[in-house]
Amino acid sequence: MLTLRVAVTATCIGTAARLLMYGGPVLSWLWMQHGWSENAAVKLEYAAAFGLLACIPFVFWRQAWPVLKLIAAWLLLSTFASMFTEPWHPELEPGAHAARYLAPLALAAFCAKDDERGRKLGEWLLRVGVGATFIAHGIEALLTRAQFIDYLIGGAWKLLQIDLPEGAARGILLTIGVVDVLVGAGVMLPKRWRVLALWLAFWGLLTASVRVLYLGWGNWPEMLIRVTNGAVPLTLFFLWTKAKHAQAE
């Protein structure tokens, strides 16, 4: 559970930093579309940022699990707001962010009931979260999201000094999209494929770190926010390994 607690902490820090540094979708949504004053909307986001940071110690305190629901509530609200502010395929937002807002809920399930029911609920929340995230990102890749093409071109140059042509980047992106959709669907099947969980963890952490590799360390909040994309499948890997050992005994 430590992996999951660290990941939720990272998400809290990343989200809070983003709110304080750049503002988030809730501000845009309430201010631009619902007639809130900018002042009130910024106050709400600042309050949420400080609130998220204050939640961090309680992430590690088992009995304080309801706090995790507060974290999930804000992340869900952000996702909901981004559906109304993100012009590019907003319908994919709930899926793309699923690991982010379901991770604290899964942790709450594990903490609230220390029994088989709690464990099962937590495990399935993690499966759905990471599965939906990979499928949504896979669809974005199949739609050749411009940002992803630039990550590939920029990454190839920075890491390998290869001048990747746009056509090649598009081809690679389509392959990544197909793989993401397949592995995302795979993790939601009632099977415990540990190799799959390891792949998801590797790819999730790699794509999270791309935000920093590509745009420099100044972009660290975006990386932290996405740590759950790799940490959630890593938690699944540990859970399944533990279950396998328990079964063997």
Amino acid at 185: A
Binding mask 13-52 for other proteins (x = CB under 8 A): --------xxx-------xxx---xxx--xxxxxxxxxx-
CB of 126 to other proteins, least distance (A): 23
Binding-site size, other proteins (CB under 8 A) = 46
Among 80, 124, 193, 214, binds other proteins (CB under 8 A): 214
Among 60, 117, 162, 166, binds other proteins (CB under 8 A): 166
CB of 52 to other proteins, least distance (A): 9
Dist CA 185 CA 202 (whole Å): 17
SS3 216: coil
Residue nearer to other proteins on the CB measure, 17 or 234: 17
Q: How far, rounded to the nearest angstrom, does the alpha carbon of residue 213 sit from its chain's CA centroid? A: 18
Among 53, 77, 121, 198, binds other proteins (CB under 8 A): 53
Among 64, 77, 179, 198, binds other proteins (CB under 8 A): 64
Do 105 and 69 form a contact (C-beta atoms < 8 A)? yes
SS3 133: helix
* Under rule CB under 8 A, residue 161 binds other proteins: no
What DSSP designation does 191 have?
A: -
CB of 35 to other proteins, least distance (A): 10
* Under rule CB under 8 A, residue 63 binds other proteins: yes
* Under rule CB under 8 A, residue 174 binds other proteins: no
How many angstroms separate the first and last alpha carbons of the chain?
A: 21
Structure tokens at 148: 């992803």
- Tally Cβ neighbours within 10 Å of residue 57: 11
* Under rule CB under 8 A, residue 215 binds other proteins: yes
* 13, 71, 122, 142, 143 from 115: Cα distances, Å: 30, 23, 11, 40, 42
Do 164 and 156 form a contact (C-beta atoms < 8 A)? yes
Only segment of 56-64, 100-108, 117-125, 177-185 that touches other proteins (CB under 8 A): 56-64
Residue nearer to other proteins on the CB measure, 88 or 202: 88
Residues 6+ apart with CB under 8 A from 37: 31
- The residues of the shown chain that bind other proteins, judged by CB under 8 A, are 21-23, 31-33, 37-39, 42-51, 53-55, 57-58, 61, 63-64, 66-67, 70, 87-88, 146-147, 149-150, 153-154, 165-167, 169, 214-215, 219, 222
